[in-house]
Amino acid sequence: MSHSPFNNLTIKKFHQGLVNKDFKALDIAEAYFKVIEEKDKEIGAYLTPLKDLAYTQAEETDLRIARKEAVGELAGVPLALKDNMLVKGERTTAGSKILNTYRGTYDATVISKLKNEGVVFLGKTNLDEFAMGASTENSGFHPTKNPHDLTRVPGGSSGGSAAAVAGHMALAALGSDTGGSIRQPAAFCGVVGLKPTYGAVSRHGLIAMASSLDQIGPITRTVEDAAIIFKAIAGQDSYDSTSVDVSYGDELTNPDFQKIKSLTVGIPEEYFIDPSASSGQGGIEPEVRAGVESVIAALKSAGIKFKKISLPHTKYALSAYYIIVPAEVSSNMARYDGIRYSQINHESEPSNLLELYTKTRSRGLGAEVKRRILLGTFVLSSGYYDAYYAKAQKVRALVKSDFTEAFKDVDVILTPVSPTRAFKIGERANDPLAMYLADIFTIPVNLAGLPGISIPVRQVKSEKENVSQSISHVANKHVTDLPIGFQLIGKPFREADILGLGQLYEKI
């Protein structure tokens, strides 16, 4: 990706260049579309480019600057959007053939907010169908490839957004995260991904998957960029009754590093367990472990205090999640009946309503979506509700109370994002359980409604060799080959803590 003209561009640098009149927003938008045309044939990050809209938005920003009007930090910023967020008048498919011809009838709240900031929308990005998946192989249209290695997945379900940012085909992007769908692809693609606290960002206009878990958040090149976008999209919304009125100040983008250095970081033993151990999570790749340990060493050298903690119900989180999510999916997917939204052409005209539903959903929905609808309908059915769904909700409460207890002793929790680096395309396609395990470290955060961020591990230029020779060797050998992410988890609505610690790490 060294040939891209945007390698070192950040939102702050872009804004500076724009107001200094080093370039125009329209020139940058055109340049990004040139890169997209060159590279996206092989990566497949985008589903629908929004060229006309982007050029109109860029010209508006250029006019405001020509008129010497003050513009905000996000004016003219070229952004990609996961294709499960509504943009009025534009195609929105959620990665599914059942919505192939659907156009948004209104703007999602995050879209309205970003339009007010003057953001330029480059296009809608690919995703696992209805955000159900961990690899972006489940898209109804095409798989997306990892820009670092085209034989590997970019992660999912926000794989298109992460690949667009990693491949320099967008300066930043929005994704949605239900069980790790922002953080895991960010880790696989070597970019930053923030899942805000549940309720911090409005879900109005986001095509729902599991309504008690979904959150919209930014995917960016730096932690500071994530903070800038988060600040713009956060806030209460009368259209979303789960959104919360929290005011985020300047501490998001201008952290007090002395204050950040006084934070205590928890290391949960359950996330670093020996892979051979029968209980717990296990199966962490040595390279991932080495990478995360190098981060801990770097933060220790900066004066950060660490403390071992326990999150004992972590091992049940995945099982509970895959009962709760299909249950909510089966409810949310009922609206796709072939009458509303977009129609599918049938060879023969259905003779009754049931036949219309059956034909439409059989042809319009993919295997993973069908699997989750069936599972969800089963766990909610009479006689099974108490045995499965009610029990899963009790486990969810236990996972949440684990975090509440841990946060009495620590301010932030540090873990891996995924047990492995990006896996090969097709490697887990026929093994749903192996695919689900990709989210084992991210799911508990959603169940508890907490903020979490994935930050790329980099080679540490620390004079203190806190990591053993063998680990340093492994880290140095592999970190540059395939990206590794580490995760910071914060207290509810304390995005400032994880963003501040992330910005500190980037400066070490």
Please identify every residue annotated as catalytic: 82, 157, 181
Q: Which helix (H) or strand (E) holds 63?
A: helix 51-66
- The answer to whether the CB of 308 falls within 8 A of the CB of 267 is yes
Please give the structure tokens belonging to residue 336.
């796709």
Cα torsion angle, 381, 383, 384, 389, sign: positive
d(CA 282, CA 273): 5
327: exposed, middle or buried (Cβ count in 10 Å: 0-12, 13-18, 19+)? buried
Print burial letters for 445-473: b (CB count within 10 Å at least 16), e (below 16).
Answer: bbbbbbbbbbbbbbebebeeebbeeebbe
How many other C-beta atoms lie within 10 A of the C-beta of residue 56?
Answer: 14
- Counting Cα atoms < 13 Å in the Cβ hemisphere of 286 gives 9
Q: Are strands 485-490 and 412-416 parallel, antiparallel or unpaired?
A: antiparallel
Strand order in the sheet with 412-416: 46-49, 120-125, 78-82, 172-177, 215-220, 192-195, 452-456, 485-490, 412-416, 264-268, 305-309
Q: How far, in whole angstroms, is CA 292 from its chain's centroid?
A: 19
Separation between Cα atoms, residue 467 and residue 475, nearest integer Å: 10
